[in-house]
Structure 1
Amino acid sequence: MNDTLYGTRDKRGYWKPSNWPLLLSIHTQPTRPQVWLRYLFGFPGYLWPWSTVYFLITLGVWYYLTPPLEMMRQFSVGWISFILARNAGLVLLVYGTFHALLYIQRRQGTDFKYNIKWPDIGNPTFLFGNQTAENVFWTMCSGVPVLTAYEVLTWWLFANEYVPYVSFAEHPIYFFAVLVLIPLWREAHFYFIHRLIHLGPLYNIIHKVHHNNVNPGPWSGLSMHTFEHVIYFTNVLIHFVVPSHPLHAIYELMNAALSPAKTHVGFHKLVVVGEQAIPSDNYFHYLHHKLFEVNYSDRSIPFDVWFGTAHDGSPEADEQLFKRLRASKANKHISAPSPSP
């Protein structure tokens, strides 16, 4: 597949899509039913392919790779170790598959790759001097244990009926509605915690590890400081207060744990065979890694448009960003205390 038909690459090796709308059509044409149907059921859309993929993985985990709830009423090394090993295997499979196909075998070369360069080697910015090695370290040695801790707590609370429970049999419409809304909640939660850890010293203490990846790859997605992992997975806490089923909670965690591989993959399209490709469409978040102070969330809810932090890769958006940064610096200078005489 020829990526020049879909975008352009500049002299520095940066590729960008030629036709990339900042706002989804549901935000620009909210009263048209066909627009909503296309958004919900189209390809790509809200439900297909990626939300469906994560939900199918969740179903498999729930039915085949999760101990019975009654077993989890008491903490024990046995079932906790099983959950930890299962999560490590899932993350290794999903992130490792993206990385193996695109970065080791390089199945599609640099076609649709936003940055023509490959992950850094011999760069002292990263642990071991290797970007991928650092990413794998933080993902497997911090991300997976923190994910598992939240999941273990969730199972224990549901098993002991300490959190409000809803069943599909009794409330099928509510059950389905909560399920469908989970990706939207995750996006809203992520936007606000993301803005928080970009503030002042929190960035250097917590978020800088993730932003070392200015040229992200799949393993960059969950490569975070442990403190950030602790904050990131708090999205599941909503199910401790909102009536939910354990399936909702595990879908919340699986979505949060596995989706960063796709959003950080570094390619706009994933070529399957010949002219067939799966849309990855993570240019919005790629620009966040490239420019830092833009695009804090995804586009399903236009938080970045509402708060003036959206960027579509255009020169006009660059100019708006520079104006915003200059104004921010000027405000900081004005508000700084005057030196003593």
Structure 2
Amino acid sequence: MLLPENISHLFSVIFIASLIRYFVIAGLAFLIYYIGLKNKVSYKKIQLKFPKATDYQREILYSLLTFLIFGIVGVLLYNPSVRPYTLTYYKISDYGWPYFIFSFFLTLLIHDTYFYWMHRLMHHPKLFKYFHKVHHQSTNPSPWTSFSFQPLEGFVEAGIFVVFAFVLPLHPIIMLSFLIFMTAYNVYGHLGWEWLPKDGHKHWFWKWLNSSLMHNQHHHYFKNNYGLYFSFWDRAMGTLDKNYEREFIALKERPKP
């Protein structure tokens, strides 16, 4: 799996691949929950109101800008002059199957740590309006919110690929798997419905995941719940919303009208 040598082709591949992931995964979630099942499961929506059409339009436009930035960063990292200096490898036998499989989970742990601390930093009052304000215009997020970033945040978010390129040996298949998983989990975080089971807030496994409700609280209240995939850092640093468990129980017990 080799990337194109031509710069314009390389940019096109990265940009178009980002568009496909976004519109397929976010679009499918939107079609299912915001159109197909809207009337049947609306009473279980975390925030009962639905965003306006103008919110969706803004989120999609900023997401397109984000993917342009991802394309620029991708070209900077994987053009023929820089690519040989990255740790990308192409033969699974170079590191073996155990590392190949383990490296996928390692990408999630590293990305979650990177995201938590960068996310908290972008919430600093002196930085928020320059980096993170656009994303928080979506106080009631939808699947389209998942990549709605202003340009400076787009570059911050793309910074994880710089870390991966020069710190962690990754096979292209693992990188592709990470990108698909990252997009899907990001859509779940902004979905507006909670998939975790009824006891998910206290279950020995599920409680360590960053749930859709956790991230919805973050958009609603503008604080706490800074994690991406996991709740490790929020629990360790005392930034898990104190009302999370109460709101989780109330959401799961919300009766059908």
Number of paired residues?
A: 231
Higher strand share: 1
Aligned residue number for residue 114 of structure 1 = 46
SS of equivalent to 2:59: helix
Query: Does the 8 Å contact 2:15/2:71 carry over to 1?
Result: yes
Aligned residue number for residue 201 of structure 2 = none
Give the one of 152, 157, 165 matched to 1:240. 165
Instruction: Decide which moves more: 152-161 or 216-225.
Output: 152-161
Aligned partner letter, 1:313: N
CA distance in structure 2 between the partners assigned to 1:315 and 1:261 by the alignment: 22
Larger Rg: 1 or 2?
1
Aligned residue number for residue 218 of structure 1 = 143
Aligned residue number for residue 310 of structure 1 = 240
Deviation at 1:313, TM superposition (A): 2.4
SS of equivalent to 2:134: helix
SS of equivalent to 2:241: coil
Query: Superposition pairs for residues 1-341 of structure 1, below 5 Å?
Result: 68-69=1-2, 72-75=4-7, 77-107=8-38, 108-120=40-52, 130-140=54-64, 142-156=65-79, 160-166=83-89, 167-172=91-96, 173-241=98-166, 242-269=168-195, 281-298=211-228, 300-313=230-243
Aligned partner letter, 1:303: W
SS of equivalent to 1:161: helix
Deviation at 1:258, TM superposition (A): 4.2
Deviation at 1:165, TM superposition (A): 4.0
CA distance in structure 1 between the partners assigned to 2:128 and 2:106 by the alignment: 29
Unmatched tracts of structure 2, length 5 or more? 197-208, 248-257
Aligned partner letter, 1:289: H
Query: Does the 8 Å contact 2:146/2:186 carry over to 1?
Result: yes
Query: Does the 8 Å contact 2:107/2:178 carry over to 1?
Result: yes
Structure 1 residues 209 and 201: alpha-carbon distance in aligned structure 2, compared to 1, 3 A threshold: same
CA distance in structure 1 between the partners assigned to 2:245 and 2:180 by the alignment: 37
Higher helix share: 2
Aligned residue number for residue 51 of structure 1 = none
TM-score, normalised to structure 2's length? 0.78
Instruction: Decide which moves more: 187-196 or 146-155.
Output: 146-155
TM-score, normalised to structure 1's length? 0.60
Query: Does the 8 Å contact 2:76/2:82 carry over to 1?
Result: no
The one of the two structures with greater contact order (alpha-carbon pairs below 8 A, sep at least 6) is: 2
Deviations 1:146-201 (A, max 9, x none): 22223334433698422124431132222222122111111111101100100022
Unmatched tracts of structure 1, length 5 or more? 1-67, 122-129, 271-278, 318-341
Q: 4+ residue runs of structure 1 moved beyond 6 angstroms?
A: none
RMSD, matched Cα: 2.8
Aligned partner letter, 1:243: P
Aligned partner letter, 1:97: L
Query: Does the 8 Å contact 2:25/2:183 carry over to 1?
Result: no
Aligned partner letter, 2:109: L
SS of equivalent to 1:208: coil
Query: Does the 8 Å contact 1:158/1:246 carry over to 2?
Result: no
